[in-house]
Amino acid sequence: MAIQVTRLLHTRMRVADMQASVDFYTRVLGLSVLSRHSSPRGSELVFLGVPGSPEEIELCAFPASGPVRVPEDLVHLAFQVDDLGATIQRLEQMGVAVTDGPHDSRSGRFCFIDAPEGYEIELIEQRQE
């Protein structure tokens, strides 16, 4: 029988350039820095939050682990937006390229952008029922 987890707390993503990543997630996506500290082994950690969502993103810079390699099409984060068209216009104004889409699906519309380090970000406008 499986254990019963009760909540997703955070997702960790290793980064090489902490400042570039923090700037992207705060300036482009509007996330908030919730905390910053060093781990016992010396990693630089920054926890980010999405307004209204309890889950967090943990950015971890630890040069001793070697270079950050993000395999293409393996990892992405998905964020909900209210209006994908307006979101794409705002991204264009900020100089952030849409790398795929927009596309329509049964549940709504979506597109992708790239974050620093090569992480893919999916932006989803869910269809209102």
Q: List active site positions.
A: 122
The answer to whether 110 touches 123, Cβ cutoff 8 Å, is yes
The answer to whether 123 touches 113, Cβ cutoff 8 Å, is yes
How far apart are alpha carbons 27 and 3 in whole angstroms? 38
How far apart are alpha carbons 46 and 37 in whole angstroms? 7
Q: Which two tokens stand for residue 94?
A: 């900020």
